[in-house]
Structure 1
Amino acid sequence: MSALSLKRPRVRQPRLTSKPQNLEPKNGKDPVEVTCRIKPPDNVDEDHCICAFDLHTVKLIPPATSFAFRNGCGKEQYYKFQHVFNPEATQKQVFDQVAKPLVADLLQGKNGLLFAYGVTGSGKTYTMEGTPDNSGIIQRTLDAIFNTIQDYQAQRCVFMPDHMNGFDIQTEAEAAQERKAFQAQSNVCKTPRTPRQRTVDTPVLDIPMRIPDGSKIDDLNEDNVYAVFVTHIEIYQNYIYDLLDEASGNGQSHRGFQAKVLREDSNHNMYVHGCIEVEVKTPEEALEVMVKGQKRRKVATTNLNLESSRSHSIFSIRVVQAPLDVHGEEVLQEKAALSISQLSLVDLAGSERNSRTRAKGGRVKEAGNINNSLMTLRSCIEVLRENQTGEGHRMVPYRDSKLTHYLKNYFGGEGRIKMIVCINPNAEDYDENQTVMKFAELISEVQIDRATPVAQTELWLPPGRRQANKFFKSIRKKLEEEGENVMNMEMDTSIIYRLAPAWPSLNYTQEDWEGFFDMLKTYMRKRIHCREKAQASLPDKIAHVRTRLLDLEKEIVYLQQENTSLTALYNNVLAKNNSLEDRLFNEEITIENLKKDLVKYNKLEEELKAVLEERDLAKNHEERQKQQMKDGLKRKLRDESEKLRREMMKSLEEREKNLKVKTYQAQVLALQEVLNIKEDVPAFSSLQQELGQPGSSNSKGTSFPSKENCPPEREDYYLRGPAVCDQRYRSSLVDQHDAWLNHCPKQMVPMGTALQPILNTQKVVTNVKKAHLEKNTITNYCLTTQDQDSQGEMETRVYKGDVLPTAGGGSQVVLKDVEVHKQREIQNVGINKSLPKETPRIPTESIQERCSTGIQFLARPGYHSP
């Protein structure tokens, strides 16, 4: 043994590639594998609606109580499957046929999905979970995994979840510290928890005695270390809950759980954020997690008096594997070398009508949500099928349901999908089974992209590192037992990859010489065979190395060219950066100058603002003084106006009083002239006394002037007759000393209206010229027009105004009055101009009546006395 070379050379760590290449091109597709399992009938003597026709076909027979039979569609139907399990099939057969290939893919770094589909009571939960004495798919899957990786597991806490659907690799020292903290917590509580993950050390729940499965997966990479993590979630009413979460939340909660959210990691894989992942080292630890979640899930089912759970259960197993270093001792501290694979085992809720669930009240909503999620799953399958057949290019509605959103990556080609259709052969389930069969037929036609494994050999690590390290450790231990000094001994693992098996023992005696010689010959033959095999494979290895060298040389040339171009680009960028820095420096100087100018402008602005404020204050003071002066003048003007108004009102009242007396006098005289009433008539005398006569006084003391005593300006009163009683016609009595310019048409219709103006030195013109107004003798202007009114009678309008001189030496006319004259016929008055001068005496008894008639007649405007 001492002759062996135990020197270990220094081996350089291989460089890992950032993105491993795939072994196979991603151009193939695999169909969804659908198998059917028929549940044993509850009563063998009753009629059954389904049976196994052969290993790949089932026959559906409509019973007389089904809707299809009553509608006239009672034909037998056949459906094809990947495999059909008859009622006599065992759990072991189902696992070996369906789940074991998925376990092999899981250990090789591939993802997988297996879900059970069917109506309530069809055996889905039994197929997935089984019983204590007859394990289901989940228990057998865990047994197969740990049977395979039992000798290749990493120590606890070497792989830690990073809470972003990934894992971190810890060194042995860090892992030991984590385990120490875990052990300290495990002494306090039965279910300890590490700071970043939850683990289970000893079983907490009482798991019944079970018969483990002895399945084992071949072709395992022995140079890797493995760790298993499990999660258990459920989807209830389109919300996701973690069955391992013991803390109750404040938000949307169910059975004391807080609703979780779905997120997408950096590789576009969906995961449940905040979900607890438990690292397990034995099948019992994993089953404890599963049983605990099952119990918490079944409590609500019992409380709600339901025959089955109204939620989807998903039990996920994630296997994390990483290669050992070149010496085969420690885990390679490269996160890029990690391989994470996941197997999701889904137990879907029963698909059936609400009438079969016997749900009432809030349970109807639960059944509706379950059916909606299953319908969304069916819609996604239909869209996938249409897109693959070229009939449509629609977007798959994964986000319409939490179930399909969580399983989106599997349907996108990130793993292998299998489905177990569980069927209850009872006749009463025919209609529901027919719907399940149609969905199974639909999903079997969907093609999923084939997942490609990652090439582990691209790490350029020699195979057999673990066994070589184990071999040399055993040699070192043996030498140490023999008393050899192995403290500074180095081991050379290179000889493991080129020599035959270890030398046999050289101790022999004379008696067993022949046997020893035969053993040496056998050993030498093996060595010669290994040498010949190595020599035969040498050309291939040399060719492979040459090909690799050529590829490396090409890569070097390409990298040199790329380096040259990048260097030139870097120089250009550097020059541009320098110019930009110079420009930046100049701009900074400009900014500093602008800042100084800005300070000056701000100071100047403040000074101008101060001056402006002073001017505004002075202006406001002046405006206040002006306003006060204006208010004072307004008050003074208001007082003077009020004083003048009172004086004018007083004068106006006196004038109206005098005018009223004169009007009454004129009426009396008019009545006397019209009616020829003598003064000795008693009634007229009393009226004359009341109103007054010219030269006499009335009862109020007012005297009326006689014709002889009348002043010259009122002489026209006795020449033309009495004035109209309306006060606005008093302006017709013009001043006789004014010179008027009468502007009237050529032809005027003669009208006998009263109050015709008598103009002094009147000049009548039909066309006014400038020379007429420039004469100093003209002081007044009169415009006369004639037209018919609305009743067809003639109307005369007289516009009067003053002629005033202007500043330029001319004249202007300012109109200030208008008079309207009309002539109406006299009615209801017995006046006859052809009567003789001696008129019969009017009876005394009709004097008052005639006087009242005459007063009414004279009060009408536009009347001219005859």
Structure 2
Amino acid sequence: MQRPGKGKTPRRPGPKKASNTERDPVGVYCRIRPLGSEDEECCVEMISSTTIQLHAPDGLKANRNGEYKETQYSFKKVFGINTTQLELFEDVAKPLVEDLIHCKNGLLFTYGVTGSGKTFTMTGSPGEGGLLPRSLDMIFNSIGPFQAKRFVFKPDDKNGMEIQSQVDALLERQKRDSQQAVPKTPSSRQKPDPEFADMISPDEACKSENVDEDGCYGVFVSYIEIYNNYIYDLLEDAPYDPIRPKPPQSKILREDQNHNMYVAGCTEVEVKSTEEAFEVFWKGQKKRRIANTQLNRESSRSHSVFTIKLAQAPLDADGDHILQDKNQVNVSQLCLVDLAGSERTNRTRAEGSRLREAGNINQSLMTLRTCIEVLRENQMCGTNKMVPYRDSKVTHLFKNYFDGEGKVRMIVCVNPNADDYEETVLVMRFAEMTQEVEVARPVDRPICGLAPGRRHRNQAFRDELSRRLEERGGPSNAVDDRVLMTQLIESLPDLPTCELVDPADDQTLPRMIEVLERRHQIRQMMTEQFNKTANTVKSMLQQFDSQLSAKDYFLHDQQSKLNEKDKVILSQKTEIERLEKKSKTLEYKIDILQKTTDMYEQDKRALQQELETREHRLQSELSERKRMEQRMQGAVTDTRLKWEKECERRVNAKQLEMQNKLWVKDEKLKQLKAIVTESSSGGSAPTERPEKPERPSRERDRNIQQKRSPSPSPLPKALPVHPKHRRSHSAGGEKWVDHKPPSNLELDTVMQPIIPNAIKVSTPSEKALSKCHKYVLRHQELASDGEIETKLIKGDVFKTRSGGQAVQFTDIETLKQVCPLAPSRKRRSGSAEGPAEVEDIENRAPAASTNSSHGYQKRRKP
């Protein structure tokens, strides 16, 4: 396709794949329909047999500022308004039918806007048959004398064909005739439309002259529609329920062994004449979905696909019977597609279901355009982009044709009305792009390697034999008798296989009986022929005996030969009876062996199933045991780690407890030593020395002072007790004495006591106390729940009247680290809060948070 204003679309350079396959472009044709009325404005002009020109309407030119200009498009051929259906068929569809007869596939589809004449082009009208009826008529005119009997070819439901013997085909014909005697649904009683009987006149009949006469043919047709992206079978006879009618079931697409797409479960009807094919087509046509829109009174709301499948099989070497070989069957098909019209919903004023139908139609046509664009880009630029065939059922069904399975032809139908100008421009652009896509050329497939003309020679031999018999008045000599006897012997059918695979097989025995009956009939014909020949010979001998007595010896010789023949025939009959008895005996034995084999097979399957069940159970038990072992190992590991941690914690706590006790004893011994030293020194001035704070009890202080002094001395005034504070005084700016015994353990708590301006000592001294105003003692002990807690015992340092240093304890802060996995223990009463009296301050139970106790003091006396 070419635009003179802009020139042909240039091909973009790119690497092309090296391939020896010859390729042909997609054949795109254009057909212009006549205007509906004379007052309509025309926008399409046919310039030549291959070029058309589009004129933009005046209104569009004024509104678009000259955007739409006169544009020319070129096609393979353009058909004007005066083109007949026959001319269109001979140029477009007839080559595809020729290829179909020569085992090549083909695809023909019509494309255009709604009301452009697509359905008329494909179907036609009475007296003006379209492409579809003319294709069927040409097929049957070409292969009519060479068609096989019905049901010799049988679809295998996998997009292939099987060949049945003449006996099986006869049985199936009888079965089908008995089923069709009682109509199932009202649709089966429908008669074909009488208007379709005179679609094609006898003068317009076409026929192919290059038909292989040494083959047999069978024609199968199927008719589907793609509606809302669902596939429905238009030839399916569903049970009809007038009370609760059921909607038709959608079909699915599958891929056969040759990677060709087909509709699974689609009805394929074998037809033997053009009239029968018309009847099948019209039966499906009445089920097709059409609706009345603003653009067309009977607008197609779905894409229809009518498939003609031609099966071909060669004859045997004698030219009498079809070869019973599935590999020798060639199946070719021609798909005639009537696409629904692309339309704009604002023009059709569609609503509800009509709007949804239009949306699905436009979506499927858009997918077709996208696939063509990607194919064109891959071929021109050497890219390898994935073609989105699966986005629509239409493109997915015909992907094999675009990949090189057969010829592709498209007829672009154009309505010259100016109202369709914008849609027509889009159609022209799509046709221009489609014409640049190339499809691989199909390869010729030979039918069989046998010598041609077998059927013709066989028929000529039969005609010559009949002529000679008529001239002689019957078989009058030994040569004719020998020829007839030979023909009868050769016509004996071969015994079919008598192997019974299934006990419920109801075909093998009837088939065997039918063959034996035919053999018996032929034997009777041989006997009759022989008797007739013998009688003729006897009459001739009698005539010769009456005329010439010299021929007695000859007659006697002939009689002896006749007797020998009778003996041979008797011996043959005896042998046949013996063989028949042997055949029956073997059949009985085969039946017994088959039953025994079936019993053994059942036992084998039962034992195998039991073995598999036990193996599965054993595997389950082993896996369950492994899981139990893993869980036990995990539990043992967790328990071991837990107890190791618990033992380590208890050992640390016990060590701390023993260190605290040892420290308390050492402090007590030091105090006792100091008391003894003070008592022995008399009234000498004591040196102030810090001691470990004891229990905050005033009676205890008085008892200690009485022991230290031989004579009672008056107690000093009570020191002021500092009130409790909500926050620790350690945050102030005073100087502190940070007393941290060396036996303390470092804990990994987040909150650590940090005291600024502090003098850290491990043993308190008078020098340190004289420089500071605050005193804090870090004390660790084992709590009742087994955890280590740290207490900060705080106090004020002041000078005594005797010149020493005294400490008045005011607060106790407790820091504690608790293990969440450790078992909880009950708190002992009187161990956490208040100034409860215990044996020693180092052994008091901790509190859960920082607590303040009543103040108590510890004084050092001279």
Give 3-state SS (helix, strand or coil) of 1:84's partner: strand
Name the residue aligned to 1:379.
Answer: 370
> Which whole-Å CA distance do the structure 2 matches of 1:329 and 1:159 have between them?
16
Q: Is residue 32–residue 417 contact of structure 1 (8 Å, CA) maintained in 2?
A: yes
What is the identity, as a one-letter code, of the residue corresponding to 2:272?
K
Distance 1:299 1:246, change over 3 A: farther
Pairing 1:796–2:796 present: no
Shift of 1:373: 0.6
Pairing 1:435–2:426 present: yes
Distance 1:100 1:304, change over 3 A: closer
- The equivalent position to 2:459 in structure 1, one of 470, 479, 484, is 470
Shift of 1:267: 0.1
- The equivalent position to 2:449 in structure 1, one of 430, 451, 460, is 460
Shift of 1:357: 2.3
State TM-score, norm by structure 1: 0.55
Distance 1:178 1:732, change over 3 A: same
> Which whole-Å CA distance do the structure 2 matches of 1:249 and 1:434 have between them?
46
> Which whole-Å CA distance do the structure 2 matches of 1:240 and 1:408 have between them?
16
Percent of matched pairs sharing the same residue: 47
- The equivalent position to 1:209 in structure 2, one of 177, 182, 197, is 197
Shift of 1:739: 7.9
Name the residue aligned to 2:172.
Answer: 178
- The equivalent position to 1:159 in structure 2, one of 153, 162, 175, is 153
**Aligned runs of 1:395-544 on 2, under 5 Å?**
395-456=386-447, 459-481=448-470, 482-484=473-475, 485=481, 486-490=483-487
Q: Is residue 55–residue 71 contact of structure 2 (8 Å, CA) maintained in 1?
A: yes
**Aligned runs of 1:14-93 on 2, under 5 Å?**
27-66=21-60, 70-93=64-87
> Which whole-Å CA distance do the structure 2 matches of 1:145 and 1:111 have between them?
14
> Which whole-Å CA distance do the structure 2 matches of 1:75 and 1:169 have between them?
60
Where does the alignment leave 5 or more consecutive residues of structure 1 unmatched?
Answer: 1-24, 194-199, 494-594, 606-725, 742-749, 756-781, 800-813, 819-858
Shift of 1:183: 1.6
> Which whole-Å CA distance do the structure 1 matches of 2:226 and 2:342 have between them?
15
Q: Is residue 190–residue 204 contact of structure 1 (8 Å, CA) maintained in 2?
A: no
Q: Is residue 66–residue 428 contact of structure 1 (8 Å, CA) maintained in 2?
A: no
Distance 1:240 1:862, change over 3 A: closer
**Aligned runs of 1:171-570 on 2, under 5 Å?**
171-189=165-183, 206=194, 208-212=196-200, 213-247=204-238, 256-298=247-289, 307-390=298-381, 392-456=383-447, 459-481=448-470, 482-484=473-475, 485=481, 486-490=483-487
> Which whole-Å CA distance do the structure 1 matches of 2:51 and 2:148 have between them?
45
Q: Is residue 220–residue 310 contact of structure 2 (8 Å, CA) maintained in 1?
A: yes
Shift of 1:186: 2.4
> Which whole-Å CA distance do the structure 1 matches of 2:454 and 2:185 have between them?
37
What is the identity, as a one-letter code, of the residue corresponding to 1:412?
D
Give 3-state SS (helix, strand or coil) of 2:262's partner: strand
| Cα-to-partner distance string for 1:40-81 (whole Å, 9 max, x where unaligned) | 111234331002100000011111133796342242110000
| Cα-to-partner distance string for 1:715-774 (whole Å, 9 max, x where unaligned) | xxxxxxxxxxx9931111226896899xxxxxxxx995559xxxxxxxxxxxxxxxxxxx
Stretch deviating more after TM superposition (358-367 or 402-411): 358-367
Q: Is residue 107–residue 319 contact of structure 1 (8 Å, CA) maintained in 2?
A: yes
> Which whole-Å CA distance do the structure 2 matches of 1:254 and 1:306 have between them?
27
> Which whole-Å CA distance do the structure 2 matches of 1:255 and 1:76 have between them?
53
**Aligned runs of 1:548-697 on 2, under 5 Å?**
none
Where does the alignment leave 5 or more consecutive residues of structure 2 unmatched?
Answer: 1-18, 476-480, 491-614, 626-694, 720-763, 775-794, 800-804, 810-837, 843-854
- The equivalent position to 1:114 in structure 2, one of 97, 108, 129, is 108
Give 3-state SS (helix, strand or coil) of 1:733's partner: helix
> Which whole-Å CA distance do the structure 1 matches of 2:369 and 2:459 have between them?
53
What is the identity, as a one-letter code, of the residue corresponding to 2:807?
R
Q: Is residue 808–residue 857 contact of structure 2 (8 Å, CA) maintained in 1?
A: no
> Which whole-Å CA distance do the structure 2 matches of 1:293 and 1:753 have between them?
124
Name the residue aligned to 2:840.
Answer: 816
Shift of 1:208: 4.0
Q: Is residue 404–residue 439 contact of structure 2 (8 Å, CA) maintained in 1?
A: yes
> Which whole-Å CA distance do the structure 2 matches of 1:433 and 1:235 have between them?
24
Name the residue aligned to 2:122.
Answer: 128
| Cα-to-partner distance string for 1:337-384 (whole Å, 9 max, x where unaligned) | 111101000000101211122211232221111111101100111111
> Which whole-Å CA distance do the structure 1 matches of 2:44 and 2:125 have between them?
25
What is the identity, as a one-letter code, of the residue corresponding to 2:463?
S
Name the residue aligned to 2:757.
Answer: none
- The equivalent position to 2:700 in structure 1, one of 718, 721, 731, is 731
Q: Is residue 114–residue 295 contact of structure 2 (8 Å, CA) maintained in 1?
A: no
> Which whole-Å CA distance do the structure 2 matches of 1:303 and 1:248 have between them?
35
**Aligned runs of 1:683-722 on 2, under 5 Å?**
none
Q: Is residue 808–residue 856 contact of structure 2 (8 Å, CA) maintained in 1?
A: no
Shift of 1:476: 3.4
> Which whole-Å CA distance do the structure 1 matches of 2:237 and 2:466 have between them?
48
Shift of 1:434: 0.6
| Cα-to-partner distance string for 1:692-733 (whole Å, 9 max, x where unaligned) | xxxxxxxxxxxxxxxxxxxxxxxxxxxxxxxxxx99311112
Give 3-state SS (helix, strand or coil) of 2:390's partner: helix
Q: Is residue 115–residue 420 contact of structure 1 (8 Å, CA) maintained in 2?
A: yes
Give 3-state SS (helix, strand or coil) of 1:331's partner: coil
- The equivalent position to 1:150 in structure 2, one of 141, 144, 149, is 144
> Which whole-Å CA distance do the structure 1 matches of 2:43 and 2:211 have between them?
45
The number of equivalent residue pairs is: 515
Give 3-state SS (helix, strand or coil) of 1:360's partner: coil
What is the identity, as a one-letter code, of the residue corresponding to 1:357?
T
Distance 1:308 1:409, change over 3 A: same
Shift of 1:190: 7.9
> Which whole-Å CA distance do the structure 1 matches of 2:259 and 2:424 have between them?
36
> Which whole-Å CA distance do the structure 1 matches of 2:190 and 2:166 have between them?
23
> Which whole-Å CA distance do the structure 1 matches of 2:222 and 2:71 have between them?
40
